[in-house]
Amino acid sequence: MLNLRKKILVAIDGSPLSDKAAEEAVRFAAGIPSQFKSKVYGLLVLPNATRNTFTDFVPAKPITEQDQWTELKERIFYVVEKLAGELEVPLETAVVYGDPADELIRFAQKEEIDVIVIGSTGKGFLKRKLLGSVSHKVVRDAKCSVYVVRG
């Protein structure tokens, strides 16, 4: 088997479990012995922007256009950026809108990702049955390997 560069996608949302997944992804990339550096993609999926109705006089700006976005983005991507810098792992971050599972899978296919690293939400049985789980949907529908990090 050839040890070529791997592309690793990690789902980022700013939660402690997301930070743990980011750590795992960067350590995984740094630990692959190869002359080619593996690359980590940090993806933050935000919900679709709310739709404005005719009763809205001043529609709300998307979060990415608000004043506090720069600071918020820095906090959300802090762990993955810090660790990637320390271990000299190439990192690319992106923010997209949509359903988290769908967007992770779409991004993975577009970028030809080798493995997706995602945190398990830890929802209870009832919530998982009613609402579904992003990690479950990604595991079920992704065309590449998926590594689920538990809390």
Mean pLDDT of 31-60: 72
Contact by Cβ (8 Å): 21, 146: no
Mean pLDDT of 46-66: 61
Q: State the CATH class of domain 7-51+58-149.
A: alpha beta
Average pLDDT, the chain: 82
- Summarised one tens digit per residue, pLDDT across range 3-27 is 567 899 999 988 899 999 999 999 9
Which helix or strand (DSSP H or E) is residue 91 part of? strand 91-97
Nearest to 113 by CA among 59, 41, 44: 41
User: Residue holding tokens 């493995």?
Assistant: 115
Mean pLDDT of 32-59: 72
Nearest to 9 by CA among 1, 24, 17: 24
Read off φ and ψ for residue 69, nearest 5 degrees: -60, -45
For the question of whether the overall pTM of this predicted structure is more than 0.85, the answer is: no
Both tokens assigned to 120: 């398990």
- Summarised one tens digit per residue, pLDDT across range 70-104 is 788 889 899 999 999 999 999 999 999 999 999 99
The domain ranges of the chain are: 7-51+58-149
Q: Between the CA of residue 23 and those of 12, 27, 34, 42, 97, what are the distances in Å?
A: 11, 6, 20, 11, 24
